[in-house]
Every structure is written in structure tokens, then in C-alpha cells.
Chains A and B, each alone.
Chain A
Amino acid sequence: MDLIANLSLGFSVAFTPINLLYAFIGCVLGTLIGVLPGIGPVATIAMLLPATYALPPVSALIMLAGIYYGAQYGGSTTAILVNLPGESSSVVTCIDGYQMARKGRAGPALAAAGIGSFFAGCVGTLILAAFAPPLTELAFKFGPAEYFALMVLGLIGAVVLASGSLLKAIAMIVLGLLMGLVGTDVNSGVARFSFDIPELTDGIGFVVIAMGVFGYGEIISNLAQPEDEREVFTAKVTGLFPTKQDFKDMAPAMLRGTFLGSALGILPGGGALLAAFAAYALEKKMKLKPGEVPFGQGNIRGVAGPESANNAGAQTSFIPLLTLGIPPNAVMALMVGAMTIHNIQPGPQVMTSNPELFWGLIASMWIGNAMLIILNLPLIGMWIKLLTVPYRYLFPSIVLFCAIGVYSTNNNTFDVWTVGIFGVIGYIFVKLGAEPAPLLLGFILGPMMEENLRRALLLSRGDWSVFVTRPLSAGLLAAGLLLLAIVLLPSIKNKREEAFVED
């Protein structure tokens, strides 16, 4: 069989001691960096890119891929422990993971994230190996109208995530979209909403908004409460590993998350991120079993599902890169850079012209995932210790790491000023009961949506009906409408509100 022959070629490349070593270095670096809030995989890969110059191309890519996965693992760790999403796809993990940690169940939450990611990684690797060629055909069918429709669907999915008022969640998305537009318009070169500040012409950084709104906003509102009512952790940490019941709850969530993640990851345009949001929305729609913790209060499914989905999505997002040469996100764009440094033109020809690179990379993804779980499960105990640090020592440290992380992304004090502003805005959001998670999703999708809307309307000569006459796009929009209708239906609306009254 082709698949087996290909995979064995891949493993023979990846299993050389030297490549194993690079995969290991990549994973360790990635985890360390992912744990530090603010320094995401993009910054890390960008910093280490020159260092891979001297390596053979396969080893270089293997190491970079290791950093990518490692950073995702590390990012979920901070999301769970201190409610700071290290990078965009762990925003959802914060919602239930942090609540679990507050209830003394950080261990199971971290284990669920780790095991879910590993499982999804294994499946994702297999899918990548088996379906990379045929799946590219589907991606070919996606035009700008379809992308736009897909993003609308993704955003509607995000609305379901917010626990407060529906209208406010939609408004937060739109606000996020608008913030995403700050900066130079790619088409006309006009600097929009930049107030003649040169740094703003590059747009507002994701890290700046995430750190300001999630990090500082949260710290300030925590400190505002009297010490005994503070939103920190119940001192008692119960059990490092998930119980049997936990496994029972999270296994189906992992399966669903993996499936969803693999499917969405293939689509260029933030696959892993959309996947995590969609998986959480899906889990929330599933009926709660009697005695299960409601979502938003520390349900283990809310960690396992999105974590599996984002890892599966991260895996399959290599498909558009390796087969079409289209980078689906910033990290992949850097991988393209790494490939071109080594004189490899990403695209369909990689599979035939450099089979050992193509399959070696795929095999190393599995190896990287295996290494990460070996590396991370024993470390859970250590991460938990972090939680026993009193808040009075924890919050200055978080402020410091946020400030350093923000500064180091651009080596620019301007970002430190803006994160301060977003800290104030974040606190206002907390005070007004406006949830920041949908804002972040909108912020990331803003420029992409505008670009695809522009292209779609350009192709249709300004005819808006293009979104409903193309079957794929119409289907996606119909799914979005259906979702919205379900949420708005009176009976469900009441239930939804009931579910949130408790908190």
C-alpha cells in the first residue's frame, strides 16, 4: 500500500538520532515558550529561523514543527492555570480550563488537554498522510465567497460561546472586526484609523490585545475584590490525573473535537482557531449528563474537545501548505519562509520532488506529539505547584511576563503603552459584563473577512447574490442562519439564560 510505504519512508527519515534530537529540542523550546504568556509560536519561530540556516532542510523543518506543537501545548497550560491564552487557539481553553483549575482540578484539566492533543495529533497525522492529495481538491473549490461564508459561520459559532447577552456578544465580535481593520489597507495602502502614529500602521498586535484585555483586565478585577472573595483557586488540589468518570466524559468529546478539527484545519484561514471555537460550541450544544458540571464552570469536555480540535487542526493545516503552498496562518507563513531559505518551493511539487522531506515531516509530527506527552504529563505536578503560589506574588509576575512578552514581539515600547490602554479597556469590559473572547476571534478574522468579501464582490461585479447562488457558500450561510435561529428560538433562549443564571 502506498500509505504504508510512504509512512515508512517518512519514519526512516525522522527516526535518525539527529532528527530525533532536533524534534526534541523543538518541543522543549516550544513548550517553554508557550508557557511564557505573550511569546507565541510566531515570535519564536521568527527568532529561531536564522538559527536553522545551517541545518539540513528536513531537520530544520522538523525542529520548527516541534516548536509549533510545543508552543500549543504550553499555551494551553497557561490558559488553564492563569487564564492567559498563550496564543489565539487556546482562547477557548481558558473558559472551562481555568474554572477547573479554580476548583482544584487543574491536574485533570491539564491531562485532558495533553491526552486530547496527543490523540488528535495521532489521528491528524494519519489523516494528513492518507488524505492530503484528495483533500486538496476540496480546497480548490473554495472561492472568496465560500471563505467569507465560512467566516460568518465561524463568528456565529463564537456568539454561542459567550455566556452573557447575545446582542452584546455580537457587538463584541463587530468591535473585534473593526479593531482588526486598524492599520494599512492591503489594497489601497491607506493607513486606516492610525491617527498618524507610525506604529499603528502595522495594526494592533494580537498579543497586545490578548495580554491587555485578558491579562491586565482580569488581574485588576481580581484585585478589586476583597481578599476572601477573590477569583483565585480553592486551595485544595484534588487528584493530578483524571478519574474514570473524567475519561468517560472526555473520550467522546475528544473524538468529536478531532473530527471537527481535522475537517476545519484543511481550510486555509485559521483552521486550528476556528476548529477550537467550533468544537467548544458543539460540546456546549450536547446535552449535559445528570450530575455533570455546566459549561463555563469547569466542564472537562470544554477542555478536551477544543484542545483536540486545535491540535488536529494544527496538524491538518499543513495540508494546504504542503500541497497548495498556501500558508493558512502566520506560523505556516514562516514555515514557507523556512522552506524557501532552504531552496524548497512549497506547493504540489514538494510531494513528488522531495518525498523524503514531505513524509519525513509528517512522520516527525507524530514523533513530536509523542515526545510532548512524555514531556508534559510528568510536568503536570510541577505546573500545579505554580498554583500554590499566593496571588500577591503571582500577579506582579504575570504583569511582568505580559510586559516583557509584549515588548519582545516587536522590541518596541509603543506596544507596552498600548497594552496599558487595553488593560483599561479590558477592565471596562469586565465592568460592563461584555465578554472578550468573541472580540478576539473577530479581531483575527477582520482583515481576512474584508479581503474575501472584497474579492468575492469584485468577481461578481458588486452583486451580493453571489453568496447565495454558489452552493457551497449558500450551504455555509444556511448553517449559520440555522445556528442563529436555534439560539434565538424562545424555548432554547430561555434554557440558555437559565444555564447562565447560576453563575
Chain B
Amino acid sequence: MGARRKAVWKRILLQVVLLLISLVIIAPLLIMLLGAFKNPTEVTSFNLDLPEKWLFENFKAVIEQGKLLPAFWNSIFITLVSTAATIMASSLAALVLARRNTGFSRFLYYFFFMGTIIPMQIMPTIRLFTVLDIYGGYLNVMILYTAINIPFSCFLYTGFIKGIPKVLDESAFIEGASALQTYFHIILPLLKPCNITVLILLFTGIWNEINIPLYFLNNPAKRTLPLSVYQFFGMYGGSNWNLVFADLTLAALPVVILFLFMQKQFINGLTEGAVKG
């Protein structure tokens, strides 16, 4: 009995400690969130006090002055297409990398892996897109995001697919399905949990990236949402931190919402993949 009681206490203590740690995580984010509702003087103390008055109009001001709505749609468009294209291309390739055990497939694996190591080279890439005559638009940004993200998602998918028993796809193949059919009917459905994991990682990564749009979009009407962070900090970083925070909050909101909605599948995706291994 004593031991049992001790275990209960230990569990409670552990939760209290974790609660404290979670406060450390939340506090800076709360400074930002609360600051977004404050007035310009209040916000400069950068603390966790509640706003005297909740100024929702800060958000309105930011959306209008920063022309955030078009930027939001640009971001959604670019992020969705690049994410979808990356998922398709990399899961297909990963199927081969995971299942085949030849020298060539091992070479391919390392070949793709190099992509997670090497930093992107801006200059030659711009030249390449210029030659292909697609520099400056949405398309070159989306291609670039796809190309850059293929290695890491390939890496993840390869691990996941190894966790799926080979028998399943082999039996489908014996029943006469083609490679693509096997992929769509057997592998993809089984990959559901990790699709969500990869989706979240890709979506947040691409959404938050700002260097590529700076260099590869030449029309301001095509700019993405996180870039407004720079604009706002430059314009209001001294006088109106409340507007800066409102903008930061808005730029982070879409990915936070996406994560909160999918967090269960996301974390399960990571764990399930490993359990099956």
C-alpha cells in the first residue's frame, strides 16, 4: 500500500514539474499574444499583465495596413501546392528506397540525404530559373520548395515504409496490380498517419520560410504572409510593438491552428510508424 501511495505522489509531483515547464514554454508566446491586444505604451513593458483594454482593432489595423489578406492567400497557395507535390514525389521515391536493397538504391538514399546537408545556392538557382524563363513567379518558388523538401520527407517516408510489412504489397503485386496501383491501393492508405506527420512538418516549414520568396518573387503582389513580419518590424518596431505582435500572431496563427487540429494524428503518426517497426 505504501509503495502505491508513493507512486501516486510521484506522479502528481511529476505533473506539477511538467506544468511549470509548460509555463516556461507558454510565457514568451503569451507575451506576444497579450501584447497584440495592448496599446503602444502598455506593450513596451513586455510582460504577462493582461491588457487594460482588449484592443481588437490592432488586428484590423495590421490586416489593412499590411495588406495581409492577399499575402495570406499567396502563402496558402504556395504552401499547399509545394506540400502536395513534395509528398507525392517523395513518398513514391521512398517506396523504392525502402523496399529495394541494391547498391543503386543505397546510392540514391545517400544522394537524397545530401540534400538535407547542403545549403541551397541562391545565385546559380536564379540563373537556372532565368534560363527556363520561370523566374519571379509562383511556379519557381513552388518548384524550389518541392526540390528542397524532397530529401527530408524522403528520409522520413523511407523509415515509415520500412515499418509496413512487405507481404501486403507483395501479395497485391502477385494478384496482378501494377507498381502504381500497389502504391495507391496498399501503401498510401497505410501511410496515412505519417502523411499527416510529414504534412505538418512540410506545411509549417514552408509557411515559415522567408528567404526564398524574398529572392524568387519579383512582384510584391505575390509576397507571402510571413514576409509582412519584416515590414512591420521595420515600420513599427520602435513605436508600435502592439502592431508588431498583432502581425506576428497573425503570421503564426494558421500553422498553429493546423497543428492543434491535427496534433493527435500527427503525434500518433510518429509513434505508430515506430510501433510497427
A and B together in one complex: no
**Chain B residues in contact with chain A, CB under 8 A?**
none
**Chain A residues in contact with chain B, CB under 8 A?**
none
